[in-house]
Amino acid sequence: MTQTPSNIPQQLIGFWKVVGGDYPLVDEYRSNGMLIQHVGDQTSEPIAFRVEGDYVVSILDQPDGTTSEQRERFEVSADSLRFFDSDGSKREFRRVQDIGRSSVSQKPWWRFW
């Protein structure tokens, strides 16, 4: 598996649309270690992430000014991205070419939902 200089698997880079789910989420993983989430016309502010072995670690800025880390075990292939939660559930994403629009409105992740 090819790695970018920041140790992010090349296969992870790109746009991933959730399969199922309650809303049309598209996660955009960038090679610079930033994740941008898109739901309809809304776009999150960039969220820093890194990969540690089988885990994607997202660094989340909290409303009180602190940060926290979210660790999610994952598997990625050419067209499938899966996250495995500690309760045994999983979330699946499929690769898409892009979301077909430019980012318009950015919000902090906690105001996004």
> Torsions phi, psi of 108, nearest 5?
-60, 150
Does residue 2 lie in a domain region? Answer: no
Q: Is 112's pLDDT higher than 80? A: no
Higher local confidence (pLDDT), 56 or 108:
56
User: What's the pLDDT score for residue 35?
Assistant: 96
User: What's the pLDDT score for residue 66?
Assistant: 95
Does residue 73 lie in a domain region? Answer: yes
Does residue 3 lie in a domain region? Answer: no
CA distances from 74 to 56, 92, 105 (A): 7, 10, 29
> How does pLDDT run across 69-89, given as a tens digit for each residue?
999 999 999 899 999 998 989
Query: What's the domain count of the chain?
Result: 1
> How does pLDDT run across 11-52, given as a tens digit for each residue?
999 999 999 988 889 999 999 999 999 998 899 999 999 999
Does residue 89 lie in a domain region? Answer: yes
User: What's the pLDDT score for residue 109?
Assistant: 52
Does residue 64 lie in a domain region? Answer: yes
CATH of the domain at 66: 2.40.128.490
Angle 48-53-57 (CA atoms, 0-180°, nearest 5)? 25
| Domain of 18, in residue numbers | 10-112
Nearest residue to 14 via CA among 109, 100, 98, 106: 98
Does residue 55 lie in a domain region? Answer: yes
Mean pLDDT of the chain: 85
Per-residue DSSP letter, 79: S
Three-state secondary-structure class, residue 111: helix
Q: Is 108's pLDDT higher than 50? A: yes
